Structure 1
Amino acid sequence: MQAEVNSILKKSLQKAREHNRTGNVGKAYAYYTIVVELCPAKRSEIEETFTDVLCEWGIQLAEDNRFSDVIRCYKHSLDIYPNNARMLNNFAAHLLRNNNPIRALQYLRRALKVDPNFLPAERNLQNAYSMAVDRWHFTMLNDKCRNNAFEKAICKRINQGYDTVLDVGTGTGLLSLYAKAAGATKVYACECSEIMALIAKNVFESNNATDIKLIPKLSFDLKIPIDISERVKLIVTETFDAGLFGELVVPSLINIHTKILDTDGMVIPMGATVYIAAIECEHIRYRSSVVFDRIKDKSTLNFNKVSILSDDEYYDTENLEKVQINYVTEPQVLFNVDFNNLLQLQEFCKDGIKQMLQTKCRYDGILDGLVAWFKLYLDEEITLDSSDGKTCWQLAVFPAIPIICHESDILTIKAETLKSKLKCSYSASNAQSSKDCKFLYRLPKEVIVFLNDFNYIELLTEIGRYQENKEMKYILDTSPFPIYGLTLLKEYKDSKILYYKTDNETLRFLIEQVAQDNGLREKVHIISNYDEIPYSLDSILVHNFDIKGELKDDRDNYLFFRYLLKKPNGVLLPEKNFLMGQLVYSEDLPNMVYVQDVNLQKSPNNPICLDISSDNKDNLQNNTTNKVNKSTNYIVAEHINNYKINQIFDLNSSLYSCEIMSEVQTLIEINEMETTEAIVNFGQINSIKKKTLPNALICWYRVQLSPHHIHDTEKNGSFMNHTAIVFEDELKNIILKDKEVKIKVHQMKGLIKITVLNL
């Protein structure tokens, strides 16, 4: 019997290796599985190879939309190798790609328990937290002005008799707590997100509010009497985005009016006014359209016939408080909406044009687009204004191709709703396009910000013009737009082929158009996969930067690039990448990553509002006192902060303010092939002389294309934003002990983990 088993093992192992060698990973996985099941003694010997095969097979299954088979293979493999960190992490990554962050979390936590320094799992854990709980929850809950305004409005309505409440999209349940504390006789809270409903449940339990009925459903699915015993008198909702309607608040309220709200009931907020204005703003211009006039100063390429605009279907969101913005037109009321008027809501919900208005330009300038904001009327007196830069809402930005305008030019602004979302555009009399455009391409933002990083473009074109190695026949450019490769083609007449990989049809048409206009059309080969390249390459530009501020895990491609590169004279750019850092103090950054309960509490100057007549004032005095003195130290932070992250990506100057607290330091050299560590000493920081102490480390990259061509990405207008690591008390505790501030930087495949050393 054992002889037969040994024979099966030998043949299975032989076939597994053979199939793996020929790329048939599905069969290789099946045979390796036979081996590890029949012979536990061999498991450790082939674990790494088994994991490689499983991961490759999982990718192929996912590409074929066989996700149930992905789950089956990983679960079975983890029964065999329960402590394999890479296997646990890769399974979690598949779950994340299939929008299942809750399930992914358990596998990521297991992976980090096995190996706390396995940074791919650490990064995916941060991704899972961000997918499970949208990051705007943190800034919203830390918006004390918003919280106090909603609390006051809820108190007033409940004490006017609107004392049965439905909180639509309750999130953490904060508005429901306000309603209960104000004396509502019955509070219902609905929430469709599984993880937010769990958080709300824990919040209600911690605040002795389990009598609030939590309904884990969309408001559209609520039914009387199954979910709610009878129609309620008050609807409370805060389901608004920068463009007011992006979270489908109007169709939601129509359904609520029809099925849930009492005929004499009320909605908080009562309504809103949306405003709009045309603006001139370089920050918006360089993030939404390509300024080819500036590029032509840096590049020899011909871009005369093309324009590029962002492919955002509706609008982007920006906090423009900290950047230069000029209002070319006076703000105009776009429309008013009454959330208590069902007929108006039904009319507004229909797709189509909602408003057309005309306004004059105030001065000669450049029109970069439109911005919209709103005033939210919680009741007759309490208003929130999203334009002041101090609320959790940003501005809605509708970018356009920049055009030159003149004083008194007439702008016609059109607003419409598509799929219940707002879309705005304009046309201008006598306005002139800033360039003679024949072809307009709508492309991802990464292409736009890359081409608008004029310093980087200048470095790339300079290297392309003056390469010391004149033999540049075969070139690969992996950047969002191959300006380096196109420059080489144009500068070196003996160059033969530029390879560029993209599956974006619009981008392919653009590159072909630019290549044709520069007489290079036959030399540009657009590919779908790097293994289509048949030649050894003379020059490769590796662009593995994510515009949000981190490096992509491009290790496998990097190995392949090394293989393709002709030696010894081949050129591989960049030569080196360094992570840079600087300590700062910021009030804004902590609000993005964790909630502070102090921002949720009742203001001592705003006691519960009661509308009390003189006749019964004395009789209600005791009740009022009891309500005001009732504990309102809401416990929310500890529950949502279970999903906090400490590293913030996609930062630019418009998002936060900070005070510089140290010199710039080189944190570590990035090595995509190895795991490395470094200790960085920022020295002592005198706590007596400083009014504030650092609470964050901002990070960016120094890209060394060559010894004489270096680019720092911390600059405004860079092709990538920067990141920040937020520390709660770690830095403060060390500084107050008069110790040197030292941080440990752990780097793995371009991923970074930064911790404060407490020595």
Structure 2
Amino acid sequence: MPNASARPKHGRRTRRRRREDPARNELVSSSLESAQQCLFNQDYGTAFVHYLLVLNLAPVFKEFAKESFRFTLFKWTEELDSVGRIQDLFDCYEQALELFPADEVILNSMGEHLFRMGFRDEAAGHFHKALKLRPDYPEARENFYRVANWLVERWHFLMLNDHGRNRKYQQAIQKAVQNGCSTVLDIGTGTGILGMCAKKAGAAEVYACELSKTMYELACEVVTANGMDGSIKILHMKSLEMEVPKDIPHRVSLVVTETVDAGLFGEGIIESLIHAWHHLLLPPQKGENESQEQSATGRVIPAGATVFGMAVESLEIRRHHRLCVSEVGGLSMAAAGELCSPVSCTSEPDESMEPYTTERLSRLPGGYKALTEPFTAFNIDFNNVQELEGLSSRPGQRIRLPVIQEGELDALAVWFQLHLDEESSLSTGPQEDTCWEQAIYPVHITKGFVLKPRDELVVEVSCRDAFLRLSSVAVVRNGHEIRLDKRLDSQDPGNPISSQNPEAELCSALACLQTDQNRTKDFYMLECAEMALLNNRDYHQSFNTALGKLISQLKVRYQTPEQSSGVQSDSTDSHDLLYVLDVSEGFSLLSLIAASHGRVKAYSSVEKNKQQEVLKRLARSNNIPEQYLEFWLNHMEDEQGMLKRPSREKLWSAILLDCVETCGLIRQKLMEKASLARCLLEEGGRIFPEKIVVYGMLVESDTLLLESAVQGQEPTLGFNIAPFINQFTVPVHVFLDFSTLECRHLSESVELFALDLMDASANYTNRDVTVRATTAGRITAIPFWYQIYLDPEISVSTLSHNSHWKQAAAVLQQPLEVKAGDWVQLAVKLHKSTISISAHIQNDPSPMM
């Protein structure tokens, strides 16, 4: 190597000193001073502009100004968010990342905004970048865990762990390829497994498409890792947008797909297959041309499906979809109108309603009762394009089902058999051990309807908008028709049902018409979890009692001389009013319950106009003066100011916080809200709840492992997939029904953690808990739930049988073998409302708490 040091140095040429620019330096200095002054004056927008100028002109100030710049960015983007200037918000983040491209805090914050706006793929990318820059950054890690549940849904793990399903798909694809299907398109490729099966079977050309950016990138990684990146072309697009020869060079002979949901058609398989037959697939084989080459014809895997259903009784389904109680927290619900979930199936499409929801019947809390035998509802041939095209115009079919046992009609449960080819099929039935749930079509009858043996239930099956629709339309009892759906027209000569009692028919028609008119006027939708909450009498009664105790104490404490002498005032301007603020998420009756105690002005968080109307109706019918109920979000421009005093003179007597998400996690920023709430309480006022205690238990559950990650050391069908998809494994499993979880209890329940919302000094972030194993086994998870204390004597549990909350579980990365009598030490951590738990065997036999 040449000796560079021997070469002559020309200092003036190689070390030319940068000429100072006094005007530029003055601009930088004055802009920096202006930025700091604007920051002091809380003029964040102007401060941000000044900082941009300084850092672009003088990058040397980056380290010096980084913290102030971040603070300014976050404050300014909060203001932009509050006034809906979303494009400006993201422009600011782009400018910030041009200056600090490797700043994990800015990346994480932008990801949070993206996620709130619904851009989950983009949010995940920013969280992932932040984690790569700083793997121990807890905010980015927790955000990534939350978004991972949306991006890679848990059924992906169950599906890849379902060895029977995987083998059947592989065998069907292999047989098709060996029979001449040499060009293959995998629609909705996911991890790429079906496309790789085709290539492994010997297909000459394989194409795949995937709409999700996250799954597309994952599939590309998997295909590359398995040495097929040059032989499988993956497109990031919907199959409906694909064209020949623009995206693929010619039509293919085989389409493979599993774009089916629990209701079979919900992921758009009908539309995508119609498009594929017209634009991407070779024509189907003609029956009279059996001798023509298979390579010149097209086909689809799966070849078709058969849909089954049955009527069921289930209290769990009922309480999530219709009002089951007449009184809530001391309030009569008679004037509420018809309240039900947004899941309701009719033969006529309704964009405001979902036709079905999903449940795993085998894990339904309280179980279910079959009221009819399973029946065949529908057959579809995916290799018949004319049948696919005629699906939406196919007339509805009415099926009469004999009732086999007495019970209240709550829903129609639906599953299907997926025919991969002539020999192989997959069932999603409730009796199968599979990754599938069943579709649930709830029945909205306010007072319910009890079916009896020898009744016949009339079910209508249709497919108007490429959604499978099943609805219970009538019951035939002793030859007479009892309508459950007014669209059933017994005067239609094509209708197989006819009433034998014209007078009853007339009365039924009038009642149905009246019901329909009332429904239009007094029909209100709540989310399924809100319906379940409304049906939880114990929860509302506990709040009613606790609020009553506090209000009584405050009334006595602050009683004026006039009130002591018996003089009362009903004016809302009176200085003796107590103020209660409810910041619950969604629909809540708690403000109305507080106002029912008298001399209380309650502020409700309910935002939707129709739901506010329900509260007003209930207030009037329960004799609560209208002026005692206020919808404070109606008057707020800035969502950040959610906890404000009602006036300069008054503080809040009680602030009601919504502490636990339906999925089983503590709400984000709960402790920050509690800290702010404590500052706004009057003397003697209280936050509800005042304390949350977290309980847990050691369990062995293969189910939780299968739903959390791809298990085992063996590659899936010989493909290396697990390391890539397991990047999206999350340590906490949510939406868990502990009462029906398949697991072995390895310990008694134990207190894991406590959060005191009234006393910040009593809180901690880490706790070691020692629990004794009562049974030998493998600890795979620690399910946890909450006891929510409204005051020291009154509490509600998220584990109760009528709770609207689900539970969660911390799943261990490696199962821990224990013997009966072993002491297990749990390290429980809470960071910004997120709980994490690790476990190890404790050698010291003495328990530590």
Which residue of 2 is the match for residue 357 of structure 1?
Answer: 399
* Structure 1 residue 416, shift from structure 2 partner: 3.7
Does the aligned pair in 1 maintain the 2:664–2:808 contact within 8 Å? Answer: yes
* Structure 1 residue 11, shift from structure 2 partner: 4.0
Which residue of 1 is the match for residue 306 of structure 2?
Answer: 273
CA distance in 1, matches of 2:236, 2:590: 53
CA distance in 1, matches of 2:714, 2:738: 24
Which residue of 1 is the match for residue 164 of structure 2?
Answer: 145
CA distance in 1, matches of 2:279, 2:134: 52
Task: Give matches, 1:60-139, under 5 Å.
Answer: 60-78=79-97, 86-109=105-128, 111-112=130-131, 118-139=137-158
Which residue of 2 is the match for residue 329 of structure 1?
Answer: 372
Deviations along 1:39-87, one digit per CA (max 9) or x if unpaired, are 8898778765644442232233345554443233224335656676543
The letter for the 2-side match of 1:379 is D
Aligned with 1:244: secondary structure? Answer: coil
Distance 1:465 1:105, change over 3 A: closer
The letter for the 2-side match of 1:195 is T
Instruction: Name the TM-score, length of structure 2 as normaliser.
Output: 0.77
Does the aligned pair in 2 maintain the 1:704–1:710 contact within 8 Å? Answer: yes
CA distance in 1, matches of 2:541, 2:280: 61
The letter for the 2-side match of 1:302 is S
CA distance in 2, matches of 1:367, 1:738: 48
Aligned residues: 711
Instruction: Name the TM-score, length of structure 1 as normaliser.
Output: 0.85
* Structure 1 residue 175, shift from structure 2 partner: 1.4
Which residue of 1 is the match for residue 708 of structure 2?
Answer: 593
Deviations along 1:551-592, one digit per CA (max 9) or x if unpaired, are 2224554344334321x1212211111222211111111122
* Structure 1 residue 722, shift from structure 2 partner: 1.1
The letter for the 2-side match of 1:364 is E
Which residue of 2 is the match for residue 27 of structure 1?
Answer: 46
Distance 1:342 1:356, change over 3 A: same
CA distance in 2, matches of 1:539, 1:173: 54
* Structure 1 residue 245, shift from structure 2 partner: 0.3
CA distance in 1, matches of 2:332, 2:819: 58
CA distance in 2, matches of 1:415, 1:62: 46
Question: Which range moved further: 278-287 or 113-122?
Answer: 113-122
Give 1:422's match in structure 2, choosing from 458, 464, 468. Answer: 468
Question: Which range moved further: 42-51 or 130-139?
Answer: 42-51
Which residue of 2 is the match for residue 615 of structure 1?
Answer: none
Distance 1:230 1:681, change over 3 A: same
Give 2:807's match in structure 1, choosing from 697, 705, 722. Answer: 722
- Say yes or no: does 1:537 pair with 2:647: no
Which residue of 1 is the match for residue 631 of structure 2?
Answer: 526
Does the aligned pair in 2 maintain the 1:164–1:234 contact within 8 Å? Answer: yes
Which residue of 2 is the match for residue 476 of structure 1?
Answer: 581
Give 2:450's match in structure 1, choosing from 399, 405, 408. Answer: 405
- Say yes or no: does 1:301 pair with 2:331: yes
CA RMSD of aligned residues (A): 3.2
- Say yes or no: does 1:320 pair with 2:361: yes
Give 1:461's match in structure 2, choosing from 517, 528, 544. Answer: 544
* Structure 1 residue 201, shift from structure 2 partner: 2.4
Which residue of 2 is the match for residue 367 of structure 1?
Answer: 409
Aligned with 2:784: secondary structure? Answer: strand
Which residue of 1 is the match for residue 531 of structure 2?
Answer: 448
Which residue of 1 is the match for residue 36 of structure 2?
Answer: 13
- Say yes or no: does 1:485 pair with 2:591: yes
CA distance in 2, matches of 1:728, 1:12: 48
Deviations along 1:692-746, one digit per CA (max 9) or x if unpaired, are 31111111112111110122212333232111111131534xx599985323222
- Say yes or no: does 1:498 pair with 2:602: yes
Distance 1:198 1:748, change over 3 A: closer
* Structure 1 residue 221, shift from structure 2 partner: 2.4
Aligned with 2:684: secondary structure? Answer: coil
The letter for the 1-side match of 2:451 is H
The letter for the 2-side match of 1:564 is L
* Structure 1 residue 538, shift from structure 2 partner: 1.6
Which residue of 1 is the match for residue 478 of structure 2?
Answer: none
- Say yes or no: does 1:646 pair with 2:677: no
Does the aligned pair in 2 maintain the 1:743–1:757 contact within 8 Å? Answer: yes
The letter for the 2-side match of 1:229 is P
Distance 1:3 1:56, change over 3 A: closer
Task: Give matches, 1:153-168, under 5 Å.
Answer: 153-168=172-187
Does the aligned pair in 2 maintain the 1:319–1:394 contact within 8 Å? Answer: yes
* Structure 1 residue 342, shift from structure 2 partner: 0.7
Which residue of 2 is the match for residue 630 of structure 1?
Answer: none
CA distance in 1, matches of 2:113, 2:549: 45
Does the aligned pair in 1 maintain the 2:392–2:464 contact within 8 Å? Answer: no
Question: Which range moved further: 277-286 or 218-227?
Answer: 218-227
Aligned with 2:542: secondary structure? Answer: helix
Q: Which has the larger radius of gyration?
A: 2
Task: Give matches, 1:250-289, under 5 Å.
Answer: 250-263=270-283, 264=285, 265-289=298-322
Does the aligned pair in 2 maintain the 1:144–1:599 contact within 8 Å? Answer: no
CA distance in 1, matches of 2:29, 2:707: 59
* Structure 1 residue 227, shift from structure 2 partner: 3.4
* Structure 1 residue 519, shift from structure 2 partner: 1.4
Distance 1:541 1:270, change over 3 A: same
CA distance in 2, matches of 1:396, 1:513: 35
* Greater RCO (Cα-Cα under 8 Å, separation 6 or more): 1
The letter for the 1-side match of 2:329 is S
CA distance in 2, matches of 1:30, 1:555: 33
Deviations along 1:626-677, one digit per CA (max 9) or x if unpaired, are xxxxxxx221111211222221111124874111112222222236779833
Question: Which range moved further: 50-59 or 636-645?
Answer: 50-59
Which residue of 1 is the match for residue 384 of structure 2?
Answer: 341
